[in-house]
């Protein structure tokens, strides 16, 4: 088996007396979609922030792309090829679509050593990327504050599809999206994974996890409570792992139930 | 509404301050005798220099989402240091470095360096330590002014070296060199704000700092740099002020902070951060000094300037709020 793209060993994180993570071991391979499940407060977002360089782990090590890495900032993680889409939107609403799309990696051309923004080219690329994804935004020069929640999220999603990198982290990416846009978002995730990018997607909608992921990892009380292939588990088992039913049948073959329609009730319950 | 019409309205809203400036100038020219003269306009440009240069830095700090109350005192300190070193009477040491070609850049660099240092200190406490910019720069406003009084002993430096003074006397196309300097500063910094990644980042950081940090932009460094630039520009304003007054007094520039703030707000910069353009700020400065000049020409008591300015700032903020509403209705 090939070397994993991302390997976490013994990651812990405490905030004062609170132990958010208590020894996480997790691997993600290139081209693999891993769904990270867990109850509210289980430590999912903390884990994502550690991988993305926004937080430092209290102990444990992060291996990425074959070397042990300690990202001191999101910019370092990004340089290494880790792309993150956060739960709360990471857009600057006071700037236009193009500026947001290219935030942090503007195309520039040096004139006398001074970097000059190449607006026309950035606008062209943004327009292309957004059109390919089937999102409709009236003008790329509109400030993001005038756009709808769905359009905003589309900018973020298109950003990772376009720029890719080696590993993509998605923290509740579909929170603001409608049914159709969510379906398209899932498609995007598959597309990106098929290009050989590793994907970690956090969600608490079971249906989404089972639809898109190759593997399901469950975090509970700051530890990995289960890490199984999607085909070898069922939503019921996943729920049990999330809520803390003692479960040691992770390897058990119940492939047939993997796409259980019962999961749709989950979504309706939200 | 047709897109073309909407675009026109958008354009007008974005450039409202220029419209106001033109309107005011036309009204004054028609109603006040002797207002419509080249000399008057050249004078408005020259008067706008000091507050103008200062307002550039202030605007950048405010666009990045912070506040700098210290620019006035910083300019005063730079002016006093320039006066102290290069003026020959009063407390001036009268250092002579020879020809203008040496004196001008050296004195300017010293003044700018003094301002840069103050800006650096402001940035350190605000960005690195995480203190409120309001408190940090209010403290600087006080202690830097205190330093001006302390190093001068409350006295003044007069008779700046003529090699430096020529900057304040020479004209180019009939317009004082001083005015050209402020125009040049506005052109340079407007370009930086609109066309370079650094300028783009200042606006983005002012809009949503967390988002820029996540996007890998060194937001702390951008914020710090905006303080440093504000300090440097205040230093430059102080140098120009020293040239203009041929030295420096301990209370030089008192009240400039208010004018700079007024210009920034009238120019369309939002105090909430993230919104504003430097050409608008220049129009704001010109507007203020057009009104100053009108009041002088009408021989109204100077105190009225302050009343009018206060009302103007209020009107500008009101206009900004209305503009936002109008835009929401349009889009």
Q: Check whether A252 has a pLDDT greater than 90.
A: no
Flag whether B197 is in a domain: yes
Give the residue-averaged pLDDT of B154-172. Answer: 83
CB contact B276 to A (< 8 Å) = no
Range of the domain at B132: 48-255+268-274
Flag whether B157 is in a domain: yes
Interface test with B, best of A95, A123, A138, A146 (most B CBs within 10 A): A95
Give the residue-averaged pLDDT of B114-138. Answer: 94
Which of A130-144, A179-193, B277-291, B307-321 is predicted most confidently? B277-291
Give the residue-averaged pLDDT of B91-114. Answer: 86
> What confidence score (pLDDT) does residue B203 get?
94
In A, minimum Cα distance to B65 occurs at: A94
CB contact B217 to A (< 8 Å) = yes
> What confidence score (pLDDT) does residue A211 get?
84
Q: Check whether A248 has a pLDDT greater than 70.
A: no
Contacts of B214 in chain A (CB under 8 A): 52, 54, 74, 84, 86, 90
The number of residues in chain A equals 270
> What confidence score (pLDDT) does residue A196 get?
84
Flag whether B4 is in a domain: no
Whether A95 and B211 lie within 8 Å, measured CB to CB: no
Could you give the CA distance from residue B286 to residue B263 in angstroms, rounded to a whole number?
Answer: 8
Whether B215 and A93 lie within 8 Å, measured CB to CB: no
Could you give the CA distance from residue A156 to residue A86 in angstroms, rounded to a whole number?
Answer: 9
ipTM of this predicted structure: 0.81
Chain A closest-CA separation from residue B169 CA (Å): 33
Q: Helix (H, G, I), strand (E, B), or coil: what is residue B30? A: helix
**Residue B245 DSSP class:** H
Q: Helix (H, G, I), strand (E, B), or coil: what is residue A114? A: strand
Per the prediction, chain B carries an average pLDDT of 88
Q: Chains A, B: CB contacts under 8 A, how many?
A: 75
Flag whether B236 is in a domain: yes
pLDDT band for B125, please (50, 70, 90 cuts). Answer: very high
Q: Check whether A266 has a pLDDT greater than 80.
A: no
> What confidence score (pLDDT) does residue A176 get?
66
Tokens of B105: 């850049």
Chain B closest-CA separation from residue A149 CA (Å): 15
Give the residue-averaged pLDDT of B104-110. Answer: 92
pLDDT band for A256, please (50, 70, 90 cuts). Answer: very low
Q: Could you tell me the strand order of the sheet in which A67-69 lies? A: A18-28, A6-15, A59-64, A67-69
Give the residue-averaged pLDDT of B121-143. Answer: 94
- What DSSP string describes A51-112? HTTSS--SEEEEEETTEEE--SSHHHHHHHTEEEE-SS----TTSBHHHHHTTT---EEEET
Could you give the CA distance from residue A96 to residue A91 in angstroms, rounded to a whole number?
Answer: 10
- What DSSP string describes B176-195? EHHHHHHHHHHHHHHHHHHH
> What confidence score (pLDDT) does residue B225 get?
95
CB contact A146 to B (< 8 Å) = yes
Flag whether B215 is in a domain: yes
pLDDT in tens, A179-195: 777 887 788 888 888 88
Q: Check whether A255 has a pLDDT greater than 50.
A: no
Interface of A with B in 51-80 (CB under 8 A): 52, 54, 73-75, 78-79
CB contact A128 to B (< 8 Å) = no
Could you give the CA distance from residue A87 to residue A44 in angstroms, rounded to a whole number?
Answer: 11
Look at A23-32, A136-145, B121-130, B192-201 and tell me which has the smallest mean pLDDT. A136-145
> What confidence score (pLDDT) does residue B191 get?
95
> What confidence score (pLDDT) does residue A262 get?
41
pLDDT band for B94, please (50, 70, 90 cuts). Answer: confident
Could you give the CA distance from residue A216 to residue A207 in angstroms, rounded to a whole number?
Answer: 12
In B, minimum Cα distance to A115 occurs at: B196
Q: Where are the domains of chain A?
A: 1-30
CB contact A99 to B (< 8 Å) = yes
> Domain tally for chain B?
1
> What confidence score (pLDDT) does residue B199 get?
93
CA R_g for chain A? 19
> What confidence score (pLDDT) does residue B239 get?
95
Cα B250 to the center of its chain, rounded Å:
20
CB contact B211 to A (< 8 Å) = yes
Q: Check whether A123 has a pLDDT greater than 50.
A: yes
User: First CA to last CA across chain A, in angstroms?
Assistant: 39
Residue A69: how many other CB atoms lie within 10 Å: 18
Cα angle, residue A152 at apex, residues A151 and A156 outer, rounded to 5° = 115
> What confidence score (pLDDT) does residue B194 get?
92
Q: Check whether B166 has a pLDDT greater than 90.
A: no
B197-207 and B177-195 helices cross at what angle (nearest 10)? 70
Give the residue-averaged pLDDT of B8-21. Answer: 83
Flag whether B72 is in a domain: yes
pLDDT band for B195, please (50, 70, 90 cuts). Answer: very high
């Amino acid at each position: 088996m090939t070397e994993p793209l991302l390997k976490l060993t013994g990651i812990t994180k405490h905030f004062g007396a609170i132990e958010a993570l208590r020894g996480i071991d997790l691997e993600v391979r290139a081209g693999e979609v891993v769904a990270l499940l867990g109850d509210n407060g289980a430590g999912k977002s903390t884990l994502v922030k550690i991988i993305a360089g926004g937080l430092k782990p209290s102990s444990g090590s992060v291996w990425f792309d074959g070397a042990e890495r300690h990202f001191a900032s999101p910019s370092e993680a990004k340089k290494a090829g880790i792309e993150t889409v956060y739960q709360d939107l990471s857009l600057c609403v006071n700037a236009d679509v193009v500026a947001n799309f290219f935030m942090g990696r503007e195309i520039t051309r040096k004139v006398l050593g001074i970097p000059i923004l190449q607006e026309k080219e950035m606008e062209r690329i943004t327009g292309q990327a957004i059109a390919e994804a089937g999102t409709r935004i009236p003008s790329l020069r509109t400030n993001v504050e005038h756009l709808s929640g769905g359009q905003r999220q589309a900018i973020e999603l298109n950003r990772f599809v376009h720029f890719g990198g080696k590993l993509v982290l998605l923290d509740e990416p579909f929170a603001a999206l409608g049914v159709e846009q969510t379906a398209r978002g899932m498609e995007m995730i598959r597309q990106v994974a098929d290009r050989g990018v590793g994907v970690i997607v956090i969600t608490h909608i079971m249906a989404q996890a089972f639809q898109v992921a190759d593997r399901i990892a469950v975090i509970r009380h700051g530890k990995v409570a289960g890490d199984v292939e999607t085909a070898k588990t069922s939503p019921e088992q996943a729920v049990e792992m999330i809520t803390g039913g003692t479960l040691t049948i992770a390897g058990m073959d119940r492939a047939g139930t993997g796409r259980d329609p019962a999961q749709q009730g989950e979504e309706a319950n939200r | 509404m047709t897109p073309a019409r909407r675009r026109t309205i958008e354009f007008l809203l974005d450039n409202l301050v220029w419209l106001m400036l033109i309107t005011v100038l036309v009204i004054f020219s028609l109603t006040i005798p002797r207002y419509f003269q080249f000399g008057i306009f050249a004078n408005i440009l020259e008067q706008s220099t000091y507050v103008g240069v200062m307002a550039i830095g202030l605007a950048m700090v405010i666009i990045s989402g912070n506040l700098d109350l210290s620019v006035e005192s910083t300019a005063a300190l730079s002016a006093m240091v320039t006066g102290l070193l290069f003026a020959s009477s009063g407390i001036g040491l009268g250092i002579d470095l020879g020809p203008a070609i040496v004196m001008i850049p050296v004195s300017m660099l010293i003044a700018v360096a003094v301002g840069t240092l103050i800006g650096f200190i402001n940035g350190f406490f605000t960005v690195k330590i995480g203190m409120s910019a309001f408190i940090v720069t209010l403290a600087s406003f006080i202690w830097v002014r205190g330093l001006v009084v302390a190093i001068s002993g409350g006295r003044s430096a007069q008779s700046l070296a003529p090699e430096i003074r020529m900057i304040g006397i020479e004209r180019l196309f009939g317009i004082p060199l001083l005015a050209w300097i402020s125009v040049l500063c506005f052109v340079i910094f407007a370009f930086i704000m609109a066309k370079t990644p650094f300028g783009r980042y200042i606006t983005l950081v002012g809009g949503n700092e967390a988002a820029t940090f996540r996007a890998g932009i060194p937001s702390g460094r951008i914020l710090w740099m905006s303080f440093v630039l504000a300090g440097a520009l205040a230093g430059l304003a102080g140098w120009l002020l020293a040239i203009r007054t041929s030295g420096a007094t301990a209370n030089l520039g008192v009240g400039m902070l208010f004018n700079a703030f007024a210009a920034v707000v009238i120019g369309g910069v939002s105090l909430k951060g993230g919104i504003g353009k430097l050409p608008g700020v220049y129009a704001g400065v010109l507007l203020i000094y057009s009104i100053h000049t009108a009041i002088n020409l009408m021989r109204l008591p100077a105190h009225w300037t302050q009343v009018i300015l206060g009302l103007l700032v209020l009107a500008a903020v009101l206009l900004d709020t209305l503009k936002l509403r109008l835009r929401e209705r349009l889009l």
